[in-house]
Amino acid sequence: MSVRFWGTVLFLLFVILEEAIYYSWNRYLYGKNIEMRQKWKTRILNVRSLFRRKKQMVIQHSDQEKSSS
């Protein structure tokens, strides 16, 4: 394999390692960030509910088309 490929792979691994160290160090210093965890939890639940609503709307819409023909 080429030097460019391995250079890119090593760079990406270095960036991932650096971010992991940064995240763990901040968590060690400041503790868990409960507010951000709650924000992400509500965002995920909102997105999940949007997909569920769309699914129900599609099912209802398709049932109406079948019954009218």
- 65 and 37 inside one domain: yes
Q: How far apart are CA 20 and CA 23, in angstroms?
A: 5
- 46 and 59 inside one domain: yes
The domain total for the chain is 2
- 40 and 20 inside one domain: no
Using DSSP's 3-state secondary structure scheme, residue 28 falls into: helix
- 12 and 27 inside one domain: yes
Query: What's the whole-model pTM score?
Result: 0.47
- 53 and 26 inside one domain: no
- Domain extent, residue 23, equals 1-31
Helices (H), 1-69: 3-30, 34-68
pLDDT at residue 21, as a whole number:
95
pLDDT at residue 18, as a whole number:
97
pLDDT along the chain (69 residues), means of 10: 92 97 90 82 87 63 55
pLDDT at residue 29, as a whole number:
87
pLDDT at residue 68, as a whole number:
54
